[in-house]
Structure 1
Amino acid sequence: MADRIVIVGGAIMGSSLAWWLTELGHPASAITVVERDPSYAASGTAFTNSCIRQQFGNPLNVAISRFGVDFIKTFQSRMDDPRVAPIHFHPFGYLYLAGNAAEADRLTRAHAVQIAAGSATRLMTPGEMAAKWPFYDLDGIVLGSHGTEDEGYFDGTTMFDWWRRIAQGRGVTYLADEVTEIDTIGGRIRGVTLASGAVLGADIVVNVAGTRGAQVARMAGLDLPVEARKRYTWIFEAARPLEKDLPLTIDPSGVHVRTDGATYMAGATPDVDPAVDPEDFAGDWAMWEDKVWPALATRIPAFEEIRVKQSWVGHYDLNVFDRNAIVGHHSDLPGFFVLNGFSGHGLQQSPALGRGLAERIVHGRYVSLDLAPFGPDRIAAGVPFPEDAVI
């Protein structure tokens, strides 16, 4: 008899897992996805900037992104459904700017990792960047790192929607409800209780609850170092549009900006960055005038005259232990799996991490990429598996 699986959280990562489980042969009738908000209006998936990059400092994250790009490019054929259209992918690249020797050293070390993993990243002098993108003011910049291939924007909403729709079409149950208790009688997973009062028997519970991941873990008597952190986004138009596409530029100030069709998208982390309630989406919009706009106008003088059209606050499910994904089986509780703590990388990592955890559940081992270093046991052991390239 197939294991009964409850996936707690049905946004992009939970739906990726559900689709991959059925793709690898797990009976769809034995899979239930519990999602507290089936509109997904406040999910990380809804607020994402929907980009993918190769420029990580951890080689496993580079490999995950390389598979992600391949999956995006081949999405239509992988879905094997005539209704599915190709996913739009706009590879404008990322450009990291270093403002001092320490930042340049970090980019240089990360570049070596990326090249060894097969990525097409190049290091650029200020003169080389000025020749390619004359709209930058590069005063104070000592080095740049540019992803020349397979970095940019993709339509993550379409990917999520088809994963969910096809999983449901195959027979996966999606419940609009909330897990309130996890039954661990006998020292292993037995099932869950829902806010509606329903009780679901389960052999496996997968915590894919995003910013509520620590809350779900506590129901099972476990700790997870994941916190909701606010991240800000602005869409603006410029009185003097740039003459060519703007790479996703990561300024030493921490502000990042990219082309977004006929407009531009900027993002930033607040200087004071406490953990917040997952329901708290209030914004401190003075940050635009105090930090973001000045940084944009300094780096790209054409952005002195711009007009904000839209803005929002989203959340990272930040892994405060080492800012890397937490994926795998929790050895302290048989049947409890974690898929959480993506620290802003969830959308782009969803193809590989959904596949990897599905392999671990179906086959009992990782087959395509060894995700064991992401396992939750590293946290209890106090052995980080860090990622420094977090935007």
Structure 2
Amino acid sequence: MSDRLKALADAGVSIWLDDLSRERIETGNLADLVKDSSVVGVTTNPTIFQGALSKGERYDAQLRELVASGADVDKVIFELTTEDVRNACDILAPVAAATKDDGRVSIEVEPTLANETQGTIDSAKALWAAVDRGNALIKIPASLEGLPAITAVTAEGISVNVTLIFSEERYRAVMDAYLAGLEQAKANGHDLSTIRSVASFFVSRVDSEIDARLEKIGTDEALALRGKAAVANARLAYAAFQEVHAGERWAALAAAGANAQRPLWASTGVKNPAYSDTMYITDLVVADTVNTMPEKTMQAFADHGELVAENNGDAVTGKAAEAKAVFEQLSAVGIDLDDVFVVLETEGVDKFKASWTDLLETVKGQMAKAGA
């Protein structure tokens, strides 16, 4: 592990790789990343699987077997992706055994179900059963329809990664859904200590959307706020996390063995070349969080990332008032934050649905070749 990544881990940040492929698994690349202790978890999504399945030949043998058995495209995708996640879970199993919350691998419910509560529940159950590993996490979108699904799935003892969270308001609803699920799980007789969860709060997309609006406004005051919204938004989310986990409701669950739903900083690859390529790591260092990174971002931090000098690198605790002031300034120059978050959630779901369509088309093409 590089000294910089070690410092990040020492500050209480868990480093999860935002990528997975059969090539990483079979070449030993993932095991190597885990062995040097820089990577203690993995996240996936339809875009990642589409990229993995469109490259190389490592899926061909299983693909041919599935086609020969008469599997349709949905079955093929389900089998290929759950196989990868199952094997990744096995690679991360020693980390899961040695740590309280890490060693987890995420797989997402079908994105087309983002606005269907029961469909999401059914998909989550099917994925959990197919992967059949206690260190898996099932990703469920934080859509309004996803919230009751989070509660229902957690109540059955399934560990969840809640994804596509953009606002503090929705994040509070996600935490409430998780706590309700834990309360039901306890009533159902589940061992709460076996249930894990993270809440994936998206970062870079917030700056991309708000920066574009600031540039349209074009005043000096507006332009001076570029690149500040995403970090401020995440810092407000962390303050909400601290508030909820200091309350009596959480205390009762913790006493029964429950694990906190850690904030996970997602979409941490910096999209604007004018900004530091490690800003969404350095500016969001705080204990009890996960930062899921593309390998490029991880390598950038290992090479030249820096932590703030004070408080063991903590750049978040105590910054809520400062973050709130940024939001007040954004509103003052004409940014409609409520509209921003609606747009981001809608686009987030739509992008994952589009990625799913791309994945379907990629696999259909490969199935045609395999059956030729």
TM-score of the aligned structures, taking structure 2 as reference length: 0.29
Q: Which structure: greater helix fraction?
A: 2
TM-score of the aligned structures, taking structure 1 as reference length: 0.28
Q: Which structure: greater strand fraction?
A: 1
